[in-house]
Amino acid sequence: MAKRMFANRLLSKLFWLLLLLLLWELISRSGIFEPTLFPPFSKILLVFWQELTDGLLLEKTCYSLQLILKGLFLSLAITVVLSFGAVSSRWVEDLVDVLNSILHPLPGIALLPVAILWFGIGETSILFIILHSVIWPMVVNLKTGFRSVPSIYLELGRSFGLKGIRLLGGVILPSSLPYFISGLKIGWARAWRAVIAAEMVFGAASGTAGGLGWHIYMTRYYFDIAGTFAALLAIVIIGILVEELFFNILEKMTIKKWGMV
């Protein structure tokens, strides 16, 4: 029964997706809009395939992804430390709350001038923007998760001699996995926004290499709107693949397996 419902939902989503793409194609070819500004989806697919096969799109995607993964890894490490400190010490919690109140509302793009002054135009500045964009929403999520761990779990862990890092890794993190995964999803989305925005402002961040943000900016500059949409399509595809092949599988292997939902 569950499989049948899943198949029906999938077919429904595919139907709406195909219908939207068909409408896109028809509207573009109808002449209502200038085809140069609103290219047919078939042309976007053709440009996407050409840039994928000649390696251009793959190069840009890999460049952006490695920045995102670096930023996420560093953000996770900092987030875990801050969140664990906040639930362990009232003083640390007050510090984290003050920092979160000040920095969380600030858009990452607003800190670009500061990043340029401090680190110059390069990968370090982009990583700084990613860290700022990712850390604070993840801290809110993970701190809530740590607070939600039942006290009996903590007492049981301490009775086995666990404390500090061992208690964090053995009891607190596994018990707050739903919040951890939810925070990771938010961090992934925020990291993408940060890196695309930063690359569009910075340009090629290191030598002649540049990511998808820089590619979007350059295709727009040369009025290659189909190329711009092709880069956007790459971002959408990556997002869907990560959601379906990583986050959904991770949730099934952990949360549902352990009876947390």
Most confident of the ranges 13-17, 26-30, 204-208, 243-247: 26-30
User: What is the pLDDT averaged over residues 12-34?
Assistant: 87
In the structure, what pLDDT confidence band is assigned to residue 5 with cuts at 50, 70 and 90? low
Q: How high is the pLDDT of residue 204?
A: 46
Q: How high is the pLDDT of residue 248?
A: 79
CB atoms within 10 A of CB 228: 21
What's the mean per-residue pLDDT of the chain? 84
* DSSP, residue by residue, 172-214: IHHHTHHHHHHHHHHHHHHHHHHHHHHHHHH-SSBTTB--HHH
User: What is the pLDDT averaged over residues 29-47?
Assistant: 89
Contact present, 214 and 204 (Cβ < 8 Å): yes
In this structure, what DSSP letter does residue 255 have? I
Beta bridge partners of 206: 209
Structure tokens at 121: 């135009």
Contact present, 247 and 253 (Cβ < 8 Å): no
Contact present, 160 and 88 (Cβ < 8 Å): no
The pLDDT tens digits for 192-232 are: 989 998 888 776 444 445 789 889 988 988 889 999 999 99
Given a cut of 90, is residue 71 above it in pLDDT? yes
* Domains of the chain, first to last: 62-226 (1.10.3720.10)
Q: How high is the pLDDT of residue 180?
A: 84
Q: How high is the pLDDT of residue 51?
A: 92
Beta bridge partners of 209: 206
